[in-house]
Amino acid sequence: MHYNFCKISYLSDKKAILCEWKKFCKGKDYREPLEYGLQLLDRYKATTWITDTSNGFENDEADSKWLIEEFVSQTIDSSCKNIIFLS
């Protein structure tokens, strides 16, 4: 799925979700791609989450809080066993 700020895809040969950030965003623009990635984790029972931050990465305080409270806890409760950051 292509978003303005991020591309989320499932890599079947790696059983992985790939999150490729294009540029800074916040709020709904930040959270929607990650929520879609969580749906893909559930659908495909992916074991790895890969985040590509080679185009830069930052988030604001509210999104950092959401990431820790919502995204991380849902990822821990999913099939995901590995999280990889590319920079």
- Per-residue pLDDT of 9-28, as tens digits, reads 999 999 999 999 998 899 99
What average pLDDT score do residues 35-44 get?
98
Structure token digits, residue 75: 């990822």
Q: What pTM did the predictor assign?
A: 0.91
pLDDT at 58 exceeding the cut of 90: no
Residue 87 has what pLDDT?
87
Number of Cβ atoms within 10 Å of the Cβ of 9: 15
Structure token digits, residue 85: 């950051």
Computed over every residue of the chain, the mean pLDDT equals 94
pLDDT at 56 exceeding the cut of 80: no
